[in-house]
């Protein structure tokens, strides 16, 4: 056998050996992620500004809240009153630093009244993710200004902070 025939035989043998070891299938693993979403939007209504505190109001809609969460464990929304501890406010209240006077109120999510523990209350708690586009809630305010003689004709205010967290 010539040297050339021997090399061609060796190369051909390698090619046949490679073909004999060829796989007839292969796996491709695809992995993806979905970024976590945890969002809250608070939109005041026109009624939230210019409230007449000398009147009585029951379940006045003052805001819409939309939450978004894609975590399977759900979410918790709390609301915090800035005025608790101001003057004689032991709970949420409208307060005037100028007059050192206040008017208490109640807040509700829809028809469910909120219970404040110090300055914070649970607004809503969900054990599931939100629907597509988010879950919508209504903030209602009730107060009775007819039962209180507010001392001075000044502006009274309150700031409510809504916070969303994973459940």
Tell me what pLDDT residue 20 has: 62
Complete domains list, the chain, with CATH: 38-166 (2.60.40.1570)
The 3 state secondary structure assigned to the chain is CCHHHHHHHHHHHHHHHHHHCCCCCCCCCCCCCCCCCEEEEEEECHHHCCCCCCCEEEEEEEEEEEEEECCCCCEEEEEEECCCCCCCCCCCEEEECCCCEEEECEEEECCEECCCECCEEEEEEECCCCCCCCEEEEEEEEEEHHHCCCCCCCCCECCEEEEEEEC
Tell me what pLDDT residue 6 has: 47
Tell me what pLDDT residue 5 has: 52
88-103 pLDDT, tens digit per residue, is: 889 999 999 888 889 9
Which segments in the chain show pLDDT lower than 70? 1-20, 149, 151
Tell me what pLDDT residue 22 has: 87
């Amino acid at each position: 056998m010539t040297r050339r025939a021997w090399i061609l035989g060796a190369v051909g043998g390698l090619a046949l050996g490679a073909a004999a070891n060829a796989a007839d299938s292969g796996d491709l693993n695809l992995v993806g992620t979905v970024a976590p979403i945890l969002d809250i939007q608070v939109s005041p209504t026109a009624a939230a500004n210019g409230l007449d505190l000398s009147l009585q109001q029951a379940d006045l809609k003052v805001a819409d809240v939309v939450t978004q969460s894609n975590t399977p464990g759900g979410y918790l929304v709390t609301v915090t009153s800035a005025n608790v501890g101001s003057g004689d406010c032991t709970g949420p209240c409208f307060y005037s630093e100028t007059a050192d006077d206040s008017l208490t109120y109640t807040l509700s999510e829809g028809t469910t009244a909120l219970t404040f523990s110090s300055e914070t209350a649970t607004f809503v708690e969900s054990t599931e993710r939100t629907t597509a586009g988010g879950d919508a809630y209504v903030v209602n305010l009730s107060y009775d200004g007819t039962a209180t003689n507010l001392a001075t004709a000044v502006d009274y205010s309150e700031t409510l902070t809504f916070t969303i967290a994973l459940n």
